[in-house]
Structure 1
Amino acid sequence: MTTSHALDPFAPDSPTHSGGAADGQSVIRGEYGYAVLDFALATTVLRDMRFVNAALTLMEQFGITDGPVHDFRARSLIMAEGARHIRLRTPLARFMGPTMVEDIRVELRTILADIDPGGRSDGPVDFNETVARKIPARVYCLLAGAPAEDAPLVARLSAGTLALLQRDPSLKDSILQSYDELFAYLTSLIARKREQGLGNDMLSFLIGQEIEGKLDAEELLSEATAMLEASSVNTSHQTALVVWTLLRERETWKRLQEDRSLVPAAVVEACRLYPRPGIVSKIASEDIDIAGTTVPAGSDVHVAVWSANRDPERFPNPDAFDIDRERVQPLTFSTGLHGCLGQSLAKVEMEEVVGFLLDRYPDATVVDEGTSIGHAGGRWLVDSLAVDLGPARAGRSVAEATP
């Protein structure tokens, strides 16, 4: 039986444990429940359908035990299992296919050119505020067929609803208010699409699924809500973390300027080192043995992605940035049937932001003064990212510079 361990995977100082098993233990126990630390076991738990999503329980611990927000979460895709999970996931997986993702890549270059922060300040810019926070919401509006001017609202609603993951009960009222506003926004947007005619966007696709009888009205709103709440906040933080990492790896940055084919590998390696979704929480649906520890039914089980991603048994010299790693595939976007649906799109967003900097501001550097990045609740958090862009490469737009 696993005994209590001093390591708290949610504590701000938890990354002082570099990664992998702690004192030879892959599973540890504390007041939070159980934590899984190494890569192999984390992968096993994330793929084991006996461990169910803990999002509904977290809401209930906040005192959200009934009402529309509780009902949404109970019916949502992340809480669904078995045949219902496959039925709800399939439409979104089809829509978010490779063709759509590559189409978005082209649109991203236009968006980046539009929000280009260069020339608006004589000193460093907050890249987190001026770029990273804007991109995912603009992409969501493009996907959903919403006006681009809705992007600030989308970003605010995504941050407001996912504030649940901060595990701070004092945020209950603001979280409920954010969901109420989100439901109203999507209900209005869906109604306008029905009235004005469907297009080629994601919401139109989901409405079409309802018309064909593959989704009911509640499931349509639930799927649209899930996509909006997940659309912005995590991707914006992860994008800023990738830029922060790569701009400090100057030798790697030089290699990326010389060989753009390395950008995807660089993004994945940065996501391995600094995963925004650092904890994936599950609940054991029955008594389950993991690594010789019997986890009782109903127990909280937290997969410490930040630890698994630096497991020395899986990633030699795990604290080092190594663009040439083989078998990287970190757990930043989870794995298994509940792996992140939007991970391909998120990676493309990050790749294009890096490409934008390489093409337009190859001399960009991080300025420590004005940069605030920390770790809390198992997640890496970006408050600000000061970047000295340096001189712009004259005469080249993002669309022209990127093949």
Structure 2
Amino acid sequence: MNARAHAPGPPSGLPSHAPAEPPAGPDPVARLFRPADADFAADPYPAFAELRALGRVHWYAPTRQYLVPHHADVSALLRDRRLGRTYLHRFTHEEFGRPAPPPAHEPFHTLNDHGLLDLEAPDHTRIRRLVTKAFTPRTVQRLEPVVRRLAAGLVGELRREGGGDLVAQLAEPLPVAVIAEMLGIPAADRGLLRPWSADICGMYELNPSEETAARAVRASVEFGDYLRELIAHRREDPGEDLISALIAAHDEGDRLSAQEMVSTCVLLLNAGHEATVNTTANGWWTLLRHPGAQEALRADPALLPAALEELMRYDTPLQLFERWVLDDIEIDGTVIPRGAELALLFGSANRDGARFERPDELDLARADNPHISFGAGVHYCLGAPLARLELAASFGELLHRAPALRLVAEPEWKPGFVIRGLRELRVEF
């Protein structure tokens, strides 16, 4: 997902990227792919199957992108260095044929463009190496008792209340609390994090509104200012937290800049919990609609690791990831020129029958499961081990302590398609 802070529009000095001969009559791709429609967002998978049957790549006029729906192509393109999360390491906006973001959006882009998710080599390589020195497997291992204690406390509160909203009372607070604990953010300030994250992540949807952009800019300024003050305190009084480790991380004299440190912390919160929130809620919504699978999982807790991978495949929390075309590529005879943008459809790729047996069937014991919900290549999710730890803790607690979990009301989906999740999931015990 690129931050689409301004409508893409046709590039100047380069072709518009539209096919030379648009299809006559109604556009079947626009008919199938309707990310702004609530019914499509609620269940995009039948439309994805039709898109895959239509071909390997499709021009989508509303966002001026090429949609890529097949697993083999998405997996390969995530690793293809002719594509990039950004193009600014090689081209100016003008050279690439793209308008610069509006000046009013600058605080958001300063924050976003210095994070690992939207960088390419050599900056991405350097920063990821430094962050990896601080965010080690040992860091995650040390957090395990904290994660399990937090999950147990949240599930215990739900039990005492006889149920509640799994989104607001478990899926959201657990990963936020874990990231806050890891970064060393004081408990009194943790209520600020989720609203900041939600406002910033609004910019990752397709063609966000100016109101969305204004909220993201405001959150970027407020969150950035907060982190700069916290980082300054940690420089004076280091602790055992990740911010202190990031300050100390160096490689041959190279250190993270102040902005890189702020952007890294924001990315760890945003990327580190948005997918976990939606995997938790969407996963339980899936299990509640598959009572046989839920009972099998309760009967055999050893299934849980494979089950979590299957839940991420079956209903993908991040549906779409974007890449810029830095050098011309060809997909199935279609030449896609430099300056174009690809929309890699993760949700479609994870239901591709060419890669998965019975792709529309939930199989919690699925052994061959190369889903791409954490991405692939150099941008593979750095926080995947932590996400899996959080999911195992929360699902494990609910399965063990809520054997009679029942749905209270049919849930609604939040607006937005790229980061796809439920508004709430009300249950009773």
TM-score of the two chains, using structure 2 as the length reference: 0.82
Q: Cα offset for 1:157?
A: 1.2
Gaps of 5+ in 2: 1-18, 24-28
Which residue in 1 is equivalent to 2:316?
275
Q: Show the counterpart of 2:4.
A: none
Deviation at 1:324, TM superposition (A): 2.4
Q: Residue 165 and residue 64 in structure 1: after superposition, are their counterparts in 2 closer, same or farther (change >3 A)? A: farther
Q: Which residue of structure 1 lines up, in the alignment, with residue 68 of structure 2?
A: 36
Deviation at 1:273, TM superposition (A): 1.2
Q: Secondary structure at the match of 1:373?
A: coil
Q: Which residue of 2 aligns with 1:398?
A: none
Does residue 51 of the first structure (1) align with residue 97 of the second (2)? no
Amino acid at match of 1:163: G
The structural deviation recorded for 1:137 is 0.7
Mapped to 2, the partners of 1:263 and 1:271 lie a distance apart of 12
Closer/same/farther in 2, CA of residues 283 and 95 from structure 1, 3 Å limit: same
Q: Match of 1:281, as an amino acid? A: E
In 2, the alpha carbon distance for the partners of 1:139 and 1:55 equals 33
The count of residues paired between Structure 1 and Structure 2 equals 385
Corresponding residue for 1:8? Answer: 33
Conserved 8 A contact 1:269-1:321: yes
Counterparts of 1:20 and 1:95, CA distance in 2: 44
Deviations 1:141-168 (A, max 9, x none): 1110112332221111111111112332
* Alignment match, 1:355: 396
> 1:202/1:55 Cα in 2 relative to 1: closer, same or farther (>3 Å)?
farther
Corresponding position: 1:100 with 2:139: yes
2:233 equivalent to 1:192? yes
Q: Deviations over 1:230-270 (max 9, x none)?
A: 23333212221122222332222222222222101111101
- The partner residue of 2:149 within 110, 128, 143 is 110
Range that drifts further, 354-363 or 215-224: 215-224
Q: Does 1:152 align with 2:182?
A: no
Tell whether the 8 Å contact from 2:275 to 2:318 is kept in structure 1 after alignment: yes
Which of 259, 264, 271 is the aligned partner of 1:218?
259
Query: Structure 1 139/20 Cα, relative in aligned 2: closer, same or farther at 3 Å?
Result: farther
Match of 1:234 in 2: 275
Aligned partner of 1:372 in structure 2 is 412
AA aligned opposite 1:37: P
CA distance in 2, matches of 1:312, 1:35: 18
Identity across the alignment (%): 27
1:338 CA drift (Å) = 0.7
Cα distance per residue 1:264-299 (max 9 Å; x no partner) = 111110111111110001110121112321111111
Contact 1:284 1:299 in 2 (8 A): yes
Separation in 2, partners of 1:22, 1:355: 35
Aligned equivalents of 2:314, 2:200: Cα separation in 1: 26
2:200 is the counterpart of 1:161? yes
Deviation at 1:55, TM superposition (A): 10
**Amino acid aligned to 2:58:** I
Check if 1:262 corresponds to 2:303.
yes
CA distance in 2, matches of 1:62, 1:371: 36
- Asked if 1:143 corresponds to 2:182, the answer is yes
The match for 2:127 among 65, 85, 88 is 88
Of 317, 331, 343, which residue of structure 2 is paired with 1:290? 331
Alpha carbons of structure 1 residues 236 and 303: separation in structure 2 relative to 1, 3 Å: same
SS in 1 for 2:161: coil
Conservation of the 8 A alpha-carbon contact between 1:21 and 1:311: no
1:179 is matched with which residue: 217, 220, 224?
Answer: 220
Q: CA separation in 1, counterparts of 2:186 and 2:290?
A: 37
Per the alignment, residue 244 of structure 1 pairs with 285
Contact 2:158 2:169 (C-alpha < 8 Å) held by counterparts = no
What does residue 399 of structure 1 align with?
Answer: none
TM-score w.r.t. the length of structure 1 is: 0.87
- Tell me by how many angstroms 1:119 deviates: 4.5
Q: Distance in 2 between matches of 1:152 and 1:329?
A: 36
Kindly state the Cα deviation for residue 219 of structure 1 after the two structures are TM-superposed. 2.3
Q: 1:227 to 1:64 in 2, by over 3 A?
A: farther
Matches within 5 A, 1:338-349: 338-349=379-390
Q: In the alignment, is the contact (CA less than 8 A) between 2:35 and 2:417 conserved in 1?
A: yes
**Is the contact made by 2:130 and 2:256 (CA closer than 8 Å) also made in structure 1?**
no
CA distance in structure 2 between the partners assigned to 1:376 and 1:74 by the alignment: 22
AA matched with 2:113 = A
Pick closer, same or farther for the CA change 1:150–1:30 going to 2, 3 Å.
same
Q: Distance in 2 between matches of 1:370 and 1:24?
A: 33
CA-based RMSD: 2.6
Equivalent position amino acid for 1:218 in 2:
Q
8 Å contact from structure 2 (residues 306, 367) kept in 1:
no
CA 1:288 to 1:316, structure 2 compared with 1: closer, same or farther past 3 Å? same
Cα distance in 1 for partners of 2:331, 2:380 equals 20
* Cα distance change on mapping 1:27 and 1:205 into 2, 3 Å: same
The more displaced of 146-155 and 270-279 is: 146-155
Alignment of 1:121-140 (within 5 A): 121-122=161-162, 124-140=163-179
Change (3 A) 1:249 1:29: same
The aligned residue for residue 47 of structure 2 is: 17
CA distance in 1, matches of 2:423, 2:119: 33
Flag the 1:267–1:210 CA change in 2: closer, same or farther, 3 A: same
- CA shift, 1:186, in A, is 0.4
